[in-house]
Amino acid sequence: MQSDLIQQKNKKKLIKNFEKVFGSNKNLSVFFAPGRINIIGEHIDYCGGKVLPAAIDKGTFVVISPSSKKYFSCFSKNENDLVNFTSKEISAKYPIFWVRYLMGVLQHLQTKTKISPCNIYIEGNLPLESGLSSSASLLLVLSWALQYLSDFRYNENDFENRKQTALVCQKIENQFIGLQCGIMDQAVVALAKQNNVMLLDCEKFELEWLECNLGEDTFLIVNSNKPRSLIESKYNQRKQETDQCLLWLQRKMQITSLAGIPTEQLEEALSFIPVKTLQKRLKHQVTENQRVKLAYQQIAAKDNIGLGKTLKESHLSLRENYEVTGKELDLIFDYSIQNKSVKGVRMTGAGFAGCLIVLLPKNEVENYQNQIQGKYQAATGLKLSFYSTTFTQGVRKI
């Protein structure tokens, strides 16, 4: 497997980097968790919808070793920060924000088993706060490494263990970090299969796999390089708005989640929502669920033209009904649809800024990049980054 060859190469370098911070050590283990793109089904995981993500071969590496000290030591290369803390200092209000992800994992594991002090080196090659789920990647790789080190429920090949770890990481993000996210990111980072997209029913936690063969086309990731903070962004507000919609609708309809509203009942459901803005939120929820079904069929049928059209419709709904796209993502969308070789484009992840995915022929990637870079730079003063996609498997020891 080519992606694992690359990781074996990385391993030596990672160990060297660990040793620069913590000194040499024979008892080292190395782990990797991928990031992800979401092909379609955006902002519907926290409303029980079905989503269609895939893990990518960029992610977060952790090198870990037991330590004889009385405190935990962790270093993030991305943050260029070495932090030491004792078990007593673990808190959701810890002043260094990124350390809270590790503390959330430790706090949870400490209720299950004994976790002894250790040295942890973290290095990611995903852009942070950009919609490719560096947060779930970080949480899963830390959980996996610490479960391994403490010999707690560690089993590389056990579906149930991966599922439970994903659920715990979602809880940490909800309760420790303060982001009311759904289960999509953690589930795909934990469970992804190589070359596959994952159809996940977020209400029932049921999965279906679909091999993704795009033929002459590919998904290119475009990073607007305009980061955003989800905690400060309107993410939690959207969650509250949809909770309110559900409350109103449950007085009139027999549903357990917004995903339970069939497209045919959209007009009726809208008539039960007294606030115009929330009608738009509901419209996105119901139509996006429908688009996920359609996109799944289009990937299965290798209908890339149809798939591209569905992706564009998704972006437009996120822009007009859900209002989570923002100036930079819309500019890139508008430039992209003017390019004749582009079959489809949409924001991926929570939005507000961050990344988009573009479906286009492999041999047009370079032309597209050249064309769009100049226009975007002239309009915003920002430079785009581009990443190719290979769909990889979930968190693992390497």
Pick between residue 100 and residue 291 the one whose CB is nearest to ligand ADP. Answer: 100
Number of residues near ligand ADP (by CB under 6 A): 20
Q: Which residues pair with 120 in a beta bridge?
A: 64, 74
- Check: CB of residue 207 under 8 Å from CB of residue 199: yes
In contact, 277 and 310? CB cutoff 8 Å: no
| CB under 8 A, 24+ apart: contacts of 291-294 | 291/40, 291/41, 291/317, 292/40, 292/41, 292/44, 292/49, 292/50, 292/51, 292/52, 292/199, 293/50
**Which residue in the block uniquely carries the two structure tokens 């490494």?**
145
CA distances from 206 to 51, 183, 198, 257, 328 (A): 11, 12, 10, 15, 35
Identify which of 166, 115, 157 has the alpha carbon closest to the alpha carbon of residue 137.
166
Nearer to Mg ion, 193 or 228 (CB): 228
Which of 80-88, 125-133, 144-152, 321-329 is the region at the interface with Mg ion (rule: CB under 5 A)?
A: 125-133
Helix, strand, or coil here: 93?
coil
* Minimum CB distance to ligand ADP, residue 126 (Å): 7
Report in angstroms how near the CB of residue 124 gets to ligand ADP at its nearest: 3
Stretch that binds Mg ion, among 23-31, 103-111, 135-143, 293-301 (CB under 5 A): 135-143
Q: Is 325 in the site for Mg ion (CB under 5 A)?
A: no
Q: What angle, rounded to 10 degrees, do the helices at 134-149 and 159-171 form?
A: 120
Q: What CA–CA distance (Å, rounded) separates 386 from 247?
A: 41
Q: Which residue, 115 or 181, has its beta carbon nearer to Mg ion?
A: 181
Copy the structure tokens of residue 370: 């050249």
Q: Among Mg ion, ligand ADP, none, what binds residue 75 when CB lies within 5 to 8 Å by partner kind?
A: none
In angstroms, give the least distance from the CB of 276 to Mg ion: 30
Are the C-beta atoms of residues 169 and 152 closer than 8 Å to each other? no
Site for ligand ADP in 240-299 (CB under 6 A): none
Per annotation, catalytic residue among 57, 81, 158, 185: 185
Per-residue x/- track, 106-135, ligand ADP (CB under 6 A): ----------------x-x---xxxxxxxx
* From 73-81, 128-136, 297-305, 381-389, span contacting Mg ion (CB under 5 A): 128-136
CB under 5 to 8 A by kind: which of Mg ion, ligand ADP, none does 294 bind?
Answer: none
> Quick check: 349 binds ligand ADP (CB under 6 A)?
yes
Contact set for ligand ADP, span 217-236 (CB under 6 A): 230
Query: Is 185 an active-site residue?
Result: yes
Minimum CB distance to Mg ion, residue 350 (Å)? 7
The structure tokens listed for 368 are 């597209």
The item of Mg ion, ligand ADP, none sharing an interface with residue 97, based on CB under 5 to 8 Å by kind, is ligand ADP
- Distances in whole angstroms, Cα of residue 139 to Cα of each of 35, 98, 170, 189: 11, 11, 9, 10
Closer Cβ to ligand ADP, 97 or 159, answer by number: 97
Residue closest to Mg ion, measured at CB: 135
- The CA–CA distances, whole Å, from 4 to 16, 56, 101, 150, 362 equal 19, 12, 26, 25, 23
Q: For residue 375, give the 3-state DSSP assignment.
A: helix
| Full DSSP string of 261-314 | --GGGHHHHHHT---HHHHHHHHHHHHHHHHHHHHHHHHHTT-HHHHHHHHHHH
Residues within window 73-92 making contact with ligand ADP, judged by CB under 6 A: 76, 78-79
Task: Considering only residues 23 through 82, tell me which ones interact with ligand ADP, judged by CB under 6 A.
Answer: 60, 76, 78-79
Using CB under 5 A as the binding rule, whether residue 135 contacts Mg ion is answered as yes
Contact residues for ligand ADP, defined by CB under 6 A: 60, 76, 78-79, 97-98, 101, 122, 124, 128-135, 138, 230, 349
Note the residues at the interface with Mg ion (CB under 5 A): 133, 135
Q: Just list the catalytic residues.
A: 185
